[in-house]
Amino acid sequence: MSAKPFIKWVGGKSQLLSQLEPYFPEKFGTYFEPFLGGGAVFYHLQPKKAVLNDINETLVQTYLYIKNEPSKLIKQLDALQKKYISTSTEERENFYYDIRSKYNKLPLSDSKRVIYFLFLNRTAFNGIHRENSKGEFNVPAGRYKNPRIVDPENLKAVSEMLQNVEILNSDFVSAVKKAKKGDFVYFDPPYHPLNDAPSFTSYHKNSFGKEEQAKLRDTFVELDKKGVYVMMSNSYTPFIKELYSDYRQLPVQASRMINARASGRGKINEIVVLNY
């Protein structure tokens, strides 16, 4: 069985893989993904060597838990799923908010956060992961009749794929420091907002604004100078197009179902930037 993303993640690349496929390098050394999220591109490429990173501490903790203790995780999730499913429809919302409150109170070092994190991901409104400035998960409850909180077969497949992978919890600059000529780096950062409209980009308590986008461009340039294959996805905006004006730019079409404005939903252009 091929592994696939085990979490819902806004901006996930599963829907775009067929459009991105023609542009992946045919051959490369180590694969780097500094903004991992759901990891759809990683699962698709199935690289022999990889360095995966995300700034979200609990997300990284989750990947490590799946890598090291998949059976224990599956057992814990299954117990929570059975408890949730057996709860009446009227009481499920209270159940959700109780778990959310416990999740936000637990220290980052507590492995129980992983269980709650995956539960919330499958039962929150539209599977959104959003944090406030304090790092607290603040998405309201979703309404699902029978959510699949645990998928044992996929979690085992993911664990197997992660065995020879280095998993980091760092910033994107540090995550690609070891990249060398012939390696492949795929950047999928929080997107620059379209027309400054509100967007769900708060995956972490630290924001990702124009200054961070410019710093990412500088990192892109440094990797290019080293002979690394670099691909980046972002919003199709004048700001991003100007930042990467020296590089190959390709439009792709994505479906966006989550946006504060109706005009931001539906088919929308995104940009793929390549240095090769």
Confidence (pLDDT) at 103: 97
**Residue 161: which of 20, 24, 1, 10 has the closest Cα?**
1
Percent of the chain beyond pLDDT 90?
Answer: 79
114 and 49 in a single domain? The answer is no
Question: How open is the CA angle 132-136-142, to the nearest 5 degrees?
Answer: 90
Query: How far apart are the C-alpha atoms of 156 and 154, rounded to whole Å?
Result: 5
185 neighbors 45 (Cβ within 8 angstroms): no
Q: Of the residues 125, 154, 183, which one is the last residue of a structural domain? A: 154
Instruction: For residues 192-205, give the mean pLDDT.
Output: 60
Q: In terms of domains, do 195 and 217 share one? A: yes
**For the purposes of burial, counting CB atoms within 10 Å of the CB of 258, is it exposed (0-12), middle (13-18) or buried (19 or more)?**
middle
Q: Is 270 found in the same domain as 179?
A: yes
**What mean pLDDT comes out for the span 56-61?**
95
Q: Do both 103 and 20 map to the same domain?
A: no
Position 247 in a domain: yes
Q: Any idea what the CATH number is for the domain that residue 125 is in? A: 1.10.1020.10
pLDDT of residue 200: 45
Count of structural domains, the chain: 2
CATH of residue 263's domain is: 3.40.50.150
Please state the rounded mean pLDDT for residues 53-66.
96
Q: What is the DSSP letter of 140?
A: P
**pLDDT for 123 beyond 70:** yes
Does 24 have pLDDT greater than 90? Answer: yes
222 pLDDT exceeds 60?
yes
H or E element at residue 273: strand 266-274
Distance CA 110, CA 11 (A): 28
What is the chain's length? 276
How many angstroms separate the CA atoms of 246 and 274, rounded?
A: 10
Specify if 163 maps to a domain: no
Q: Is 265 among the domain residues? A: yes
Indicate whether 46 and 183 sit together in one domain.
yes
What pLDDT is recorded for position 85?
94
Co-location of 37 and 110 in the same domain: no
Phi, psi for 254 (deg, rounded to 5): -120, 160
Q: Is residue 132 part of a domain?
A: yes
By three-state DSSP, how is residue 142 classified? coil
Considering only CA atoms, which of 33, 17, 4 is closest in space to residue 189? Answer: 33
Q: 196 and 248: one domain?
A: yes
Give the model's pLDDT for residue 126.
85
The answer on 257 and 174 residing in a single domain is yes
Q: Has residue 8 been placed in a domain?
A: no
Higher pLDDT, 96 or 209: 96
Among residues 213, 214, 226, the alpha carbon closest in space to that of 185 is found at 226
Q: 135 with 193, same domain?
A: no
Structure confidence at residue 205 as a pLDDT band (50, 70, 90): low
Tell me: the pLDDT tens digits for 172-186? 999 999 999 999 999
Beta-ladder partners of 124: 141
Which one of 96, 121, 154 terminates a domain? 154
Kindly write down the DSSP assignment for every residue of 155-203, as one continuous string: HHHHHHHTTTEEEE-S-HHHHTTT--TT-EEEE-PPPPPGGG------S
Write down which residue in 154, 188, 220 finishes a domain: 154
pLDDT bucket at 132, cuts 50 / 70 / 90? confident
**What is the overall mean pLDDT for the chain?**
91
Distances (CA, A) of 157 to 46, 70, 96, 234: 12, 10, 28, 29
42 lies in the same domain as 68: no
Tell whether 130 is covered by a domain. Answer: yes
Per-residue pLDDT, 1: 64
Name the residue range of residue 177's domain. 14-55+170-274
Are residues 96 and 34 part of one domain?
no
In a domain, 4, yes or no: no
Higher-pLDDT residue of 212 and 201 is: 212
Give me the mean pLDDT over the 106-110 stretch: 92
